[in-house]
Structure 1
């Protein structure tokens, strides 16, 4: 038996908090009966409907995917571009990406059908480090990198402090390879941060998410997360969320 809101969240319909709102608004039925009280538990055999649509009860699945460049981080794209879920043709569950990577950015992306888990990882108070390697136009001076470390003003506000490391610089080609770790998830954030210091990114790859790495995967390949990894991610997100609450 599981709490109704958790079942709704796991089905990817809404976050657990939003599921609670749907219940209180009388938009959820269990076996044909409208439920408005929180705390109701349901079994796998119970029929659950949200706004008159029966939800599919799936076992939660969790994947680590090496997203190639030129792929969009959505379930499908109205412009006909290749989406990350196109790489999972044999997966029957309705998976979706946790957060996103830009169309031209490659690297580590997590996908799941567990909405509750996804919302926990994406919550602003969940400060899980994401490590990127960027190839920049020009070689940033130490003072410019220090601005990124302290947090830099963008049009949607100042960024949180970042961890930045210069890996290499090519004076002949006037390019640099820089590692940057952030925990926020704003749209095109890393690219905008480097643009703000006058060194646009020509190539960007996410190499690490928390303790997870690409671990020998090639672009377009994926693997399932182990139950221990899922448990570790959940604990890491809850730890940082609790620290910042």
Structure 2
């Protein structure tokens, strides 16, 4: 009976069910209230009215979200956004407004830029606090080759002794250049210079020798391995039988290949007597030649000595014991009897020395009681004479060959 009264009372408000937005489920939850109130009196009427504001307000409409529903987010609560539309009316929507998203993006961009700026400022401050790396102002105290490389490629000032500059420019040897300076045949910046120790810079100073101006450019450093023939002398003069005359072909096209660069003055590193053949180094680098030829380097040199007669054990023992040359006892590093070749009837000896004194190998063979027929040098240091290099021919050395020349000494062994 109470249920009937409740429904009869609800029927008095047809407008309540005319609104399709209301659902029956919330109404069922309120039924106990209706039942409780109807139990007290069967004639109770519900006077439900909605209060109205004193001033009219714009109606609120729900704007549906145009994005497709996400099944995974169906259980998540929807946060409404109350915004004002173009007409000034308040509306409710489920997504943030566009201007809010734009302002958030601008804020994020500005914050990231500020962080980058702070990182850059911090790095700059660290760089300012870091002390500068010291630059070496003096030549490194290493080997002569390292100091020479430093002076030629790194050192700004190319100030050198006048006699050394003249020799490097190909004017004459170091001693002959000093004689020219003493004789007053050299002028520096318009004044006669008589001191070989005068420091000059060929790129800045004006130098004249016998009235001819010295070129501002020095010739390049050249290194050759020559297979010296018999009958040629190791001289840098104008003799026709000088080993330097074997390089005449090199100078014919020099001016075309190297315009305005003077011809280098070549000379031999050490000497071979007129009757000895084989390997000899020819260059225009004075320091390199001095390092290679100086006895302190103790570079090993290998010779093939062809002798007349028969070689016995006592001969080999006599050679290995050494001999006195110019008051100094010279002992070879090794002595070996080579196998007999089919096309050669004379025995051959391989003799390795490091002193490099004048006629050393010849004196060793002579002191042993043997008669020397021919002598040929085939190795200096770690560089061996190419087997296909004919007599009187030369080949330009590569950096690896130069290292071989300097890298096989008796000290390192």
Q: Same fold (TM over 0.5)?
A: yes
* Residue in structure 2 matched with residue 73 of structure 1 by the alignment: 234
- Matched position secondary structure for 1:120: helix
Shift in alpha-carbon separation, 1:227–1:43, aligned structure 2, 3 A: farther
Per-residue deviation, 1:50: 8.4
Alignment of 1:37-52 (within 5 A): 40=199, 42-48=201-207
Give the corresponding residue for 2:259: none
Moved more, 31-40 or 64-73: 31-40
CA separation in 1, counterparts of 2:246 and 2:402?
A: 21
Q: Which residue pairs with 2:247 in the alignment?
A: 88
C-alpha distance in 2, partners of 1:124/1:49? 36
TM-score when normalising by structure 1: 0.75
What per-residue deviation string (whole Å, max 9, x for no partner) do you get for residues 130-161 of structure 1? 11101012233333323332321235432143
Match of 1:218 in 2: 390
Match of 1:102 in 2: 273
Matches within 5 A, 1:160-199: 160-168=331-339, 175-199=346-370
Q: 1:59 aligns with which of 220, 225, 245?
A: 220
Give, in angstroms, the shift of residue 221 of structure 1.
Answer: 1.1
CA–CA distance in structure 1, aligned partners of residues 384 and 234 of structure 2 = 18
Over the aligned positions, Cα root-mean-square deviation in angstroms equals 3.8
Output one character per residue of 1:190-233: Cα deviation in whole Å (capped at 9) or x when no partner: 11211111102101111111111221211111110113323453
SS at match of 1:88: helix
Of Structure 1 and Structure 2, the greater helix share is in 2
SS in 2 for 1:90: helix
Instruction: Mark the CA change 1:231 to 1:169 in structure 2 (over 3 Å): closer, same or farther.
Output: closer
Q: Match for residue 146 of structure 1?
A: 317
Q: Give 1 or 2: higher strand fraction.
A: 1
Alignment match, 1:233: 405
- More RCO (CA 8 Å, sep 6+): 1
Any idea what the Cα deviations from partners look like across 1:75-123, whole Å, max 9, x if unmatched? 2466x5x221121113342211111112121111110111121111111
| Whole-Å separation in 2 of the counterparts to 1:233 and 1:55 | 32
Native 8 Å contact 2:315 2:370 kept in 1: no
Per the TM alignment, residue 187 of structure 1 is displaced from its structure 2 partner at its CA by 2.1
Q: How many residues align?
A: 233
Counterpart in the other structure of 1:14: 174
Give the structure 2 partner of residue 2 of structure 1: 158
* Structure 2 unaligned regions, length at least 5: 1-156, 252-263
Task: Describe the shift of the 1:149–1:114 C-alpha distance in structure 2 as closer, same or farther (beyond 3 A).
Answer: same
Are 1:123 and 2:288 an aligned pair? no
Q: What SS does structure 2 have at the residue aligned with 1:217? A: coil
Range 39-48 or range 187-196, more displaced: 39-48
C-alpha displacement at 1:178, in angstroms?
0.4
Which has the higher Rg, Structure 1 or Structure 2? 2
Aligned to 1:158: 329
Alpha-carbon contact 2:332-2:353 (below 8 Å) kept:
yes
Instruction: Provide the rounded CA distance (Å) in 1 between the counterparts of 2:316 and 2:205.
Output: 56
Q: Distance in 1 between matches of 2:395 and 2:209?
A: 32
Q: In 2, Cα distance between the equivalents of 1:149 and 1:51?
A: 53
Partner of 1:125, secondary structure, is: helix
